[in-house]
Structure 1
Amino acid sequence: MSELKQLIEEYGGIQPPHLAFYMESIRFSSEAAMNSIDYLADFIKMTNETKGQYEMTRELQTIILDHLQNILTHAAALSRYFWPSKPGKDSLHQKRAETLMAEFDLNDDSPLKNRSLRNQLEHFDENLDKYLWSKPLVGYVLPAYVGGVFDNDGVPTHLFRAFYIDVGIFETLGQRYEVQPIVDELCKIHEKFNSANNHT
């Protein structure tokens, strides 16, 4: 075993003074996601208080969908710290991930591990190419939609981005993701981060 590999094993992929760099990277994505989560929580509170009596303008739809995409994009970014795509030389990335998972009390049941979500967002340009060239776009074509799940009466529907409020599902390019489990995990990471910082 090389000296470097031995040190990686000994320190679990992160030398103690370097943990702060990983924590700062995680903080950035965590706080960016939480800002959008807070906005959506205020929106949901407003919908409840008004019993749905408000105008869903194009601008409001765009803002809501932007915040949802921001949450999912930062969830995908955080996922890479805990579930790297490659183990790395001398298992460096894998060891680092294991150390961070222990630090944040995460396991492989986490919704953040969803590789499908990561691939969808990280390669969005390629996925958009494939989606638009895979079949003729006939029927309903909606660049943005926020509202309840609707009955399309059998007519094909193509959605660039959609959020079904009644079931908490975000859809993009035909892929659907349940938002609440991801939000719950992001909140858990944010709380753990704050808890760790309060004890330093």
Structure 2
Amino acid sequence: MEEMKEHIEMYEGIQPPHLAFYSEAIRFNLVAAISSVEFLVECLKETNTMEDPSGLNNAILDSIQNILLHTASVSKYFWPINKGVHKVHKKRAQTLRRIFKVKESSVLQNKELRNHLEHLDENLDKYLWSKPVVGNVFPAYVGPEMPRNEVPYHFFRAFFTESGIFESLGVRLDLQPIIDELYEIYRSTFNDENT
């Protein structure tokens, strides 16, 4: 065990030949997220020409959820859940942030996003049982944000097209900074590869 600790220290959590494995794992999530961004953009363009664009609501929301799930997966490589034996996860994350040029202040560090999506089943239980669900209930909504008056609003998944905000069970996320960060990491690391 002592030898393992020395190697973790010496290689800062990642042995050089193993970097290819981490890079491939991160690349997969980035490509999947970016593909969903591109699909989302096409769907939003299409809604501008449709008389009733509500038929695309699920496609839009599914794309956004896919973007966010893959973003949460990328986030784990740079900010692990725990430190690991001999702090291997912590050291690996620090090394990957340096190699991939991910700043400590990155929007990907937001664990609220990760926790919300990874524990969606439990969060749904908590949300639905914490108070009476009365008022306006929207399982799937895409459109402008409506004024919130005295009547409560409940969104399982919503995307407010004017602000670019995604809301789920009271958690609100601005998508554009997340998308910008995904593209930045991809361009700076995998720019010369084909997706």
Residue 183 of structure 1 aligns with which residue? Answer: 179
**How many Å separate the matches in 2 of 1:55 and 1:185?**
34
Q: What's the CA shift for 1:39?
A: 1.3
Listed as ranges, the gaps of 5+ residues in structure 2 are none
Per-residue displacement from partner, 1:38-61 (whole Å, max 9, x unpaired)? 1122344456xxxx4523444300
* Preserved CA contact (<8 Å) 2:44 2:60: no
Question: For residue 101 of structure 2, what is the aligned residue in structure 1?
Answer: 105
**Is 2:73 the partner of 1:77?**
yes
Following superposition, the deviation at residue 196 of structure 1 comes to 7.2
Q: What is the identity, as a one-letter code, of the residue corresponding to 1:143? A: P
> What is residue 96 of structure 1 aligned with on the other side?
92
Aligned-residue CA RMSD (Å): 1.8
Aligned AA (2:161):
I
Give the 5 Å matches for 1:14-163: 14-46=14-46, 52-163=48-159
Secondary structure in 1 matching 2:137: strand
For residues 184 and 102 of structure 2, the distance between their equivalents in structure 1, rounded to whole angstroms, comes to: 9
Distance in 1 (alpha carbons) for counterparts of 2:38 and 2:150? 36
User: How far, CA to CA, are the matches of 1:56 and 1:4 in structure 2?
Assistant: 61
Shift of residue 112 of structure 1?
Answer: 0.4
Query: Where does the alignment leave 5 or more consecutive residues of structure 1 unmatched?
Result: none
- The alignment of Structure 1 onto Structure 2 pairs a total of residues equal to 194
Shift of 1:148: 0.7
For residues 96-140 of structure 1, give each alpha carbon's deviation from its aligned partner in whole angstroms, at most 9, with x where no partner exists. Answer: 101110111012110000011111011111000000001111111
Q: Distance in 1 between matches of 2:36 and 2:51?
A: 21
Shift in alpha-carbon separation, 1:140–1:167, aligned structure 2, 3 A: same
Aligned-residue offset at 1:2: 2.1
| CA distance in structure 2 between the aligned counterparts of 1:105 and 1:90, rounded to whole angstroms | 24
Q: Report the residue type matching 1:24 in the other structure.
A: E
Q: TM-score, normalised by structure 2?
A: 0.93
SS in 2 for 1:159: strand
Match for 1:174 among 149, 167, 170? Answer: 170
Residue 166 of structure 2 contacts residue 174 of structure 2 at CA under 8 Å; is this kept in 1? yes
Following the alignment from structure 2 to structure 1, what is the Cα–Cα distance between the partners of residues 23 and 44?
Answer: 30
SS in 2 for 1:158: strand
- Distance in 2 (CA, whole Å) between partners of 1:60 and 1:70 is 15
TM-score, normalized by length of structure 1?
0.91
For the residues of structure 2 that align with 1:196 and 1:102, how far apart are their CA atoms? Answer: 20
